[in-house]
Amino acid sequence: MKIFRLLLRVAVGVLFFGHGTQKLLGWFDGHGLKATADGFEKMGMRPGTVNAVAAGVGEAGGGALLTLGYMTPLAGASIVAVMATAIHKVHLKNGPWVSQGGYEYNLVLVLAVLALVEAGPGPVSLDAIKGKERQGTLWALASALLGAAGSAAAHFAAAAIGPPADTPADTPADTPADPA
């Protein structure tokens, strides 16, 4: 049965679901939508509420789909989009190491999710039960590209909207340590 693939899929999926609901609903000691939206605004991801909802839904929805093994490539793309945005907006400037606020953890999560998409969700999944298990390198690449496109769209939209009226364009805004 590929028990460790199942355990990885469920663990990563449940944790992403929890992380997304922290943003959206304040569950699991999360900050909730208002505080998350404020953090996104300060990072330049405007409008903050729209971006916070998108990130929260991407994580919670992608995590739920991954946990269930349902529409696994879409789940992967959703998670990749949020993690790519977090890497770009928060962690990249700090280098690779998580001990310095870097991107290593986010990158490992992206690769774990893409490995799950490539391997497929396995026999204990809704995809397998429905006979629609999509797996393989092309599905993983499609998930990666769709996730990267989603992240890029969020960046371009935020750049087009620009900084808040009361923040000079050349003044960097304070950013929370880990909004993603």
Please give the Cα distance from 75 to 98 (Å, whole number).
24
Q: Phi and psi for 66 in degrees, rounded to 5?
A: -65, -45
At residue 159, the pLDDT reads 85
CB atoms under 10 Å from CB of 116, counted, come to 27
- Which tokens in the block code for residue 164? 């808040």
- CA distances (Å), 9 to each of 14, 27, 140, in order? 8, 21, 15
At residue 161, the pLDDT reads 84
- Which tokens in the block code for residue 51? 């971006």
Q: Measuring CA to CA, which residue among 12, 19, 138 is closest to residue 4?
A: 12
Q: What angle do CA 83, 12, 142 make, to 5 degrees?
A: 55
pLDDT in single tens digits along all 180 residues of the chain:
689 999 999 999 999 999 999 999 999 999 999 999 999 999 888 899 999 999 999 999 999 999 999 999 999 999 999 999 999 999 999 999 999 999 999 999 999 999 999 999 999 999 999 999 899 999 999 999 999 999 999 988 888 887 766 655 544 444 454 556
At residue 171, the pLDDT reads 46
Cis preceding-peptide flag for 47 (omega within 30 of 0): yes
At residue 1, the pLDDT reads 64
At residue 155, the pLDDT reads 87
Q: Using an 8 Å Cβ cutoff, are 73 and 135 in contact?
A: no
At residue 175, the pLDDT reads 47
At residue 151, the pLDDT reads 95
